[in-house]
Amino acid sequence: MLQELRVSQFAIIDSLNIEFQNGLNILSGETGSGKSVLLKSLALLMGEKASADTIRTGCTQATVEGSFYLKHRPDLKKNLEALGIEADDNQLIVRRIISAGDKSKVYLNGVLSPLAQLREIVAPLIEVTGPSAPLIEMTGQHDNRNLMSKAYHLDLLDQYAGHWDKRSQFESQYHNWLEMKNQITDFERKSQDKAQRLDFLKFQFQEFEKLDLQPEDAGLEIEIKKLKNSSKLLQFADICDQLVYQDDDSISARLKTIHKKALEVAQLDPALQEKIVVLDQAQTLIDDAIYAVRSYVNKIDADPEMLEEKESRLSQIRKLQKKHGDDLTALMDVFNQMASEIKALENSDQHLEQLKKQAAILELELRKQATEMHKTRGAHAKKLATNVNQELLDLNMKGVLFDISVTALDHLTSTGMTDVEFLSQTSPKDPKRPLSKAASGGELSRILLSLKKSAGKSAFPRTYLFDEVDTGVSGTTAEKVGRKLKEIAKGQQVICVTHLPQVAAFGDVHFSIQKSTHKDQAVMTVTELKKQDRVEEIARLISGEKITKTSIAHAQELIKECQM
């Protein structure tokens, strides 16, 4: 839901703040009051390109900011999270800054973002139902692009038929099938180079096998260094032995002297007895350390042949590292990958046949599901067309007939095997034509209104913008348009620009758009109308500039009837 719209220094808008509500939001104003400017600012929130020409005269930049409530749109919160944009408070704030030189910046919750991301999140996509439903869908007398899209036609029919879960599952399986087909193509393309690749891999694999890498090879360099310096290590052990035991003034002899003196002193003060215990421990620790050093050094095999063998092995490992990886773990990974690829290549023919068999089975299943969906689409298309035509009659569109063409395809697509197109005819004698070729702008708007009324609500709530959908109607028909807009607005948000009192009276909230002149500049203001102000605005819509007691009474009665 669009909660708030803030606009500053944009066209004839100096500063504007509108707080929209749930349900039906009405925007009304005199011709030329600036309704189109307000719609242009809303279009910027949906990802329309910005132009420096829209900056208010005398200003350096314009700003358009919209706040959306996302509590009931987990799909969009997930999309924002994937883009690294936080929406923990269920809010999405879209900010457009337009500067001179056609420079424009887009911020999503304060994060500088490309225009494409804004369109992905907010803009009216062709797919207006299901998980890809936009936050805003804009419709009007001259903006019914979705009605021209066959993809939209199919989506709307599937929404009506309750196909979304089936279609989502089908699409997932369809992409798995495409991946299998791509693998098959890739296998077949590579089959010519298979033998050459296999020979090359086996040659490299033999190098690895011959070397027979082991985890302990990680310490090979240290082992070689130890062997090369074995004499120094032996010399160190001899020095330790001499200093601790052999010298007349050895460490061991000194410790014994200290221990003897300590025993004598301990007789003078018994408290010292427990403090000299560590002297015995020190002697034991020194003895253990010298023994450990001597034992370790004596195990070093200074055999020149062993040294040469280890150096040769290290040299071979380093050659492999230059080709395949920096450390032993990387080399062993490469070895395992080679083994897997060799096995795959040696069994590729068998694997290819298995893959083809799996793809064929999945294709049969997909065709079966697609055929079932096609049948139910055909049945629901008839029901939907009947409902839409009933709605059109209710809107006094006599002679205009709506139909849905459902044609079976011979090939699979991500949505099944069905081509769907909305058609209309101006009279029973005329041929059925695509909407884009048969219907006028006003007819398209009311066909769209009838479709939304007939198809029911989509899986996710959103904001609908209707721009003068009531153009060309009056009287009872206008009242019916207003009632249908009111019904669509239940549980969703509808923002409707209208000049008809019969439509405006159905609004849950009503805004008046006015244009005035200040310091030789046009200024647009939008005011939320309360009670008597709203009555007067609807009275103006009824009688024009001259508001009479009769038009006031008529407006009061109209509001009362429409809000019942």
Coil vs helix vs strand at 81: helix
Give dist(CA 308, CA 295) in Å, integer: 24
pLDDT tens profile 267-292: 777 777 777 777 778 878 887 887 88
Q: Which of 7-21, 190-204, 214-228 has the lowest mean pLDDT?
A: 214-228
Over the stretch 136-175, which tens digit does the pLDDT of each residue have? 665 544 344 566 778 888 988 988 898 888 998 999 999 9
Give the model's pLDDT for residue 314.
64
Does any domain span residue 49? no
Q: What is the DSSP string of 152-186?
A: HHHHHHHHHHT-HHHHHHHHHHHHHHHHHHHHHHH
pLDDT at 253: 75
Domain membership of residue 245 (yes or no) is yes
With a CB cutoff of 8 Å and minimum separation 6, the contacts of 144 are: 441, 444, 445, 448
Contact indicator for 50, 102 with CB cutoff of 8 Å: yes
DSSP string, 177-237: HHHHHHHHHHHHHHHHHHHHHHHHHHHHHHHHHHH---GGGGGHHHHHHHHHTHHHHHHHH
- Quick check: 368 pLDDT over 90? yes
Q: Do residues 198 and 338 touch, judged by C-beta distance below 8 A?
A: no
Q: Is residue 102 included in any domain, yes or no? A: no
The closest of 41, 68, 92, 124 to 458, measured between CA atoms, is 124
Complete DSSP assignment for 330-390: HHHHHHHHHHHHHHHHHTHHHHHHHHHHHHHHHHHHHHHHHHHHHHHHHHHHHHHHHHHHH
Q: pLDDT band at 409, cuts 50/70/90?
A: very high
309 in any annotated domain: yes
Residue 127 has pLDDT above 60, yes or no: no
Parent domain of 205: 189-346
Mean pLDDT value across the chain: 80
In a domain, 517, yes or no: no
> What average pLDDT does this structure show over 74-102?
86
**Residue 478 falls within a domain, yes or no?**
no
Q: What is the pLDDT of residue 126?
A: 27
pLDDT band of residue 305 (cuts 50, 70, 90) is: low
- Other beta carbons within 10 angstroms of residue 324's beta carbon come to 18
Rounded Cα gap, residues 384 and 45, in angstroms: 32
Whether residue 252 contacts residue 279, with contact meaning beta carbons closer than 8 Å, is answered with no
Query: Dihedral sign, CA of 411, 412, 414, 419?
Result: positive
Half-sphere exposure of 397 (CA within 13 A, CB side): 28
In a domain, 278, yes or no: yes
Q: Are strands 493-497 and 23-29 parallel, antiparallel or unpaired?
A: parallel
129, pLDDT greater than 50: no
Report which listed range, 384-388, 443-447, 486-490, 525-529, is most confident. 384-388
Indicate the residue type of 70.
Answer: L
Total structural domains in the chain? 1
Q: How far apart are CA 126 and CA 145, in angstroms?
A: 8
pLDDT at 560: 87
- The residue type found at 489 is A
Alpha-carbon Rg for the chain in angstroms:
41
3 lies in a domain? no
Report the pLDDT value the prediction gives residue 240, as an integer from 0 to 100: 78
Please give the pLDDT value at position 132: 38
User: Tell me, what's the pLDDT at 145?
Assistant: 52
Is 80 exceeded by the pLDDT of residue 542? Answer: yes
